Amino acid sequence: MPRLIPTSHADLMPSRDLLPMLERKSRSDRAETTAAAHGVATDPAFGSVVPPLYLSSTYEFAGFDTPRAYDYGRSGNPTRDLLAQALAKLEGGADAVVTPSGMAALDLLLGRLRRNHLVLAPHDCYGGTLRLLKARADLGHLTFRLTDQRDFGGFEAALSDAPALVLIESPSNPLMRVTDIARLSTLAKAAGSAVAVDNTFLSPALQQPLSLGADYAIHSATKFLNGHSDVIAGAVIAAEPQEAHDLKRWANVTGAVAAPFDAWLTLRGLRTLFARMSSQERSAMTIAEYLDAHPAVRHVHYAGLPDHADHEVARRQQRGFGAMMSFELEGGVPAVRRFLAHIRCFTLAESLGGVESLVAHPATMTHLDMGPEARERAGIRDELLRLSIGLEHIDDLMEGLELGLGAC
């Protein structure tokens, strides 16, 4: 008679005792296998192939003064921990914290800085990152400075002020500039600074910042990691076990932990990360070449194109060029209006990294808050459009673009 009902609650609880078993099961996994199958078929209660979703906010003690592996959902949750493990493996880190958003992931790091600690960030960083740095600085929690991180001289000069944290974002949004992560990490660490890389645009499938010398990889899991535009989540992956441990405790202190269902959905999305990335990237390369040759297009920003200023650095530090690009139209803002009125197959929306293709106009959408002067300085022009390439058939994507460009 098969045992259908577990005999005790303890049987139902995937405890941290399970982790050694999981570890054995997945020790030699290649990254694709980790993404597709980390935690698969490890359910001790029913042999569920898909890891179960644990929604409970609290856990029964085994007895007086005898907590089990989990006691309260803010401190730990089996579903969230499984995703954290998978992400840590993919990024080659010690462990990870899964946060309720990408901004919460960044703020997890910033929150541990002291007053007057300096953060060095790229002058063309994600708009939300800049807004958060400004808000924290206004409250006196930290100071920050923006530099052009492709200017090594300027970067080295800024390091003389001994920043506590150097923030890198590569490729950058929306201009797809690539920063030499290994070189900057070496310089920063020699100056005693910790280095965090926002790896949202490429995901660990195409870039592993920790292997290039960074201390932390951070993610908006909202984008490629989940990949289906139905979750807001983030993650910080730490290279060192002690740092990972401290960040986990800090997430428990501040409550910056993702909901179990969001973690479960993100793990489900992660299963297809490599397949999505490789397919979306293939289409992106075709589209970048097509746009590059089109008379209505002035310039394409995609590091996969051989004449992109950072093509060589990108080839060296990335395993691919990704599925994001931007381009400028010859006809200025009137052309942008006509293009967006006629384009098909791309949805006009913010965000990126999903299975559906999106088009965004940074100056009026993602980068509106920056203001015209800062946009001008960063090189974000009013005729710039950003594309996130999804999984639609390449012919449909090209036909959709052609309808837009034909109207320019």
Ligand X SMILES: *Cc1c(COP(=O)(O)O)cnc(C)c1O
Kindly indicate which of the ranges 8-16, 80-88, 126-134, 283-291 contains the residues binding ligand X, using the contact rule CB under 6 A: 126-134
Residues in the chain: 408
Instruction: Name the segment binding ligand X (CB under 6 A); options: 8-16, 50-58, 98-106, 146-154.
Output: 98-106
Per annotation, catalytic residue among 80, 223, 248, 381: 223
Interaction between residue 103 and ligand X (CB under 6 A): yes
Indicate which single residue of 26, 42, 149, 173 sits in contact with ligand X (rule: CB under 6 A).
173
The nearest distance, CB 306 to ligand X, in angstroms, is 25
- Tell which one of 54, 59, 70, 126 touches ligand X (CB under 6 A): 126
Binding residue for ligand X (CB under 6 A) from 92, 128, 331, 332?
A: 128
Binder among 79, 101, 280, 283 for ligand X (CB under 6 A)? 101
Q: Collapse the DSSP code of 215 into the 3-class scheme (helix H, G, I; strand E, B; otherwise coil) and give the result.
A: coil
> Whole-number minimum distance, CB 337 to ligand X, in Å?
25
| Contacts (CB under 6 A) with ligand X, residues 131-170 | 169
Taking alpha carbons only, the member of 186, 181, 174 closest to residue 197 is: 181
Q: How far is the CB of 201 from ligand X (least distance, A)?
A: 6
Residue with tokens 């970067």: 155
Residue closer to ligand X by CB (options 338, 367) is: 367
Q: Is 198 a catalytic residue?
A: yes
| 207 sits near ligand X (criterion: CB under 6 A) | no
Binding region for ligand X (CB under 6 A) out of 99-107, 235-243, 260-268, 269-277: 99-107
β-pairing, 118-122 with 165-169? parallel
Is 103 or 387 the residue whose CB approaches ligand X more closely? 103
CB 239 within 8 A of CB 94: yes
Give me the residue label for tokens 């994600």: 126
| 250 vs 290, beta carbon nearer ligand X | 250
Please state, in angstroms and rounded to a whole number, the distance separating the CA atoms of residues 282 and 321.
Answer: 9
Q: Which is nearer to ligand X, 142 or 202 (CB)?
A: 202
Judged by CB under 6 A, the number of residues near ligand X is 16
Task: Determine if 232 is a binding residue for ligand X (CB under 6 A).
Answer: yes
Distance from C-alpha of 74 to C-alpha of 251, rounded to nearest angstrom: 8
Cβ partners under 8 Å of residue 81, min gap 6: none
Q: Which of 198, 215, 262, 310 is catalytic?
A: 198
CB 351 within 8 A of CB 225: no
How far is CA 406 from its chain centroid?
34
CB of 227 to ligand X, least distance (A): 13
Question: And the tokens for 209?
Answer: 């910042």
Smallest separation (angstroms) from ligand X to the CB of 211: 20
| List 59, 70, 126, 216, catalytic entry | 126
Give every CB contact of residue 395 below 8 A, 6+ residues apart in sequence: none
Catalytic residue, chosen from 16, 25, 68, 74, is 74
Kindly state the DSSP code that residue 360 receives in the 8-state scheme: E
74 given a catalytic annotation = yes
Which of helix, strand or coil describes residue 138?
Answer: helix
Instruction: Work out how close the CB of 15 gets to ligand X at its nearest, in angstroms, rounded to a whole number.
Output: 31
Cis-peptide, bond into residue 14, ω within 30° of zero: no
H helix intervals, 160-305: 181-190, 241-254, 260-270, 273-292
Q: What are the residue ranges of helices labelled H in 207-258?
A: 241-254
Among residues 256 and 288, whose Cβ is nearest to ligand X? 256
Minimum Å distance from CB 285 to ligand X?
21
- Whether 189 is catalytic is no
Q: In what order do the strands lie in the sheet with 347-348?
A: 297-301, 324-329, 384-388, 358-360, 347-348
- Closer of 34 and 129 to ligand X (Cβ): 129
- Give CA 229 to chain center in angstroms: 13
Residues involved in catalysis: 74, 126, 198, 223
Question: Which residues of the shown chain bind ligand X in the complex (CB under 6 A)?
Answer: 101-103, 126, 128-129, 169, 173, 198, 200-201, 220, 222-223, 232, 234
